[in-house]
A and B are shown apart, each in its own frame.
Chain A
């Protein structure tokens, strides 16, 4: 562990440090929203398969409903992109 105090740090070090924090933030934005989508899709997917087992024509509807929580992870991705590139 390298002990860096802000007072001793050079401007480059501080900038590098900030970049690192931004990367962690972007990672969290995608990762956590991914987990959230997964939790939401788990039940919907199970229900869609159940309905489809009885009525095959529900495939289209089931598929659409299952991927709706996918928007959460897309928002996460957008936030991550904003953090990294803007």
Chain B
């Protein structure tokens, strides 16, 4: 009897069914070509009649055009993620909370970047997504601080203080990298040994792999040295263990591409990987697509687990990125072909 009660206390059926219903309300991929044929006001109207209605209505008094859309998208993302936290309990709630700390990292990076380039507080706040542990009010007060020292003091109690403690202004890439590492190491450490948590780990470690692959592609392409690359990758991946990373990072560009053939990701990326490819856009799009396909696939294997929720979070984020890509592309009058290449569907 005890095991029945414990199983029941995980409360997956409710949240997974709800998330699946939410997933069915995402914009279907047939709509994107239609969006590409519209002007920004038309897109805003279409979006404003869908799931984003509340956000567009709320913000319509303050913003218009592209600004309105951008703000509505950000606010909707934060609202959706907070809703997931609100409607989940026990283990799923814990796992979602841990996963969403990603947005704390995102927000800290955004604020520091904004300060580095001297952006006004309002502009910084436009880009933050208050979906993590730091609420919008806290973020507002941090964004309004003038000096880096004040920001550091405000974040003393956060787990990410270690990454920014030494920061004195200037180059941000080191801190950004350190923040990512802290995020993932904390995430991996916080997840326990129960069956549900192990599944979560499986997904997160694959995500780390894909992130590392992107880093490897970029750094290899740019011709960085092994040590520099190893500083940038995140330990804890599923297939690309630290030995593999060391090996891959020491290879030359053609050998590196050949070395990738040993991993299961190769079958998906082999189509677009060429030794003489000019841009990594295609590879990154394929990797993003792989992440989504993987999340969907394993969420079908384990329907009563955290995986359908991760799948939904990924797809929601992707939907928002796609809409943003389309409207920004439209704004600067990019040809449709290029916009389409950037979309992940």
**Residues of A in contact with B (beta carbons under 8 Å apart):** 39, 42-44, 46-51, 53-55, 58
Contacts and interface: CB of A to CB of B under 8 A. Distances in A.
B60 to A, nearest CB: 25
22 contacts: A42-B8, A43-B8, A43-B304, A46-B13, A46-B17, A47-B17, A49-B14, A49-B17, A50-B13, A50-B14, A50-B16, A50-B18, A50-B19, A50-B21, A50-B87, A51-B17, A51-B18, A51-B21, A53-B18, A54-B21, A54-B22, A54-B25
Contacts of A46: 11, 13-14, 17
Q: Which of B15, B18, B20 has the most CB of A within 10 A?
A: B18
B4 A51 contact: no
Interface string B11-39: 10111111111101100000000000000
Contacts of A39: 4
Interface of B: 4, 8, 11, 13-22, 24-25, 87, 304
Given A44-B13, A47-B16, 9 more contacts: A39-B4, A46-B14, A50-B18, A50-B19, A51-B18, A51-B21, A54-B25, A55-B21, A55-B25
B24 A48 contact: no
Contacts of A58: 21
Contacts of A51: 17-18, 20-21
A53 B86 CA distance: 13
Contacts of A49: 14, 17
A39 B1 CA distance: 11
B24 A55 contact: yes
A47 B12 CA distance: 8
A86 to B, nearest CB: 34
B6 to A, nearest CB: 13
A42 B304 CA distance: 14
A43 B304 CA distance: 10
A80 B13 CA distance: 32
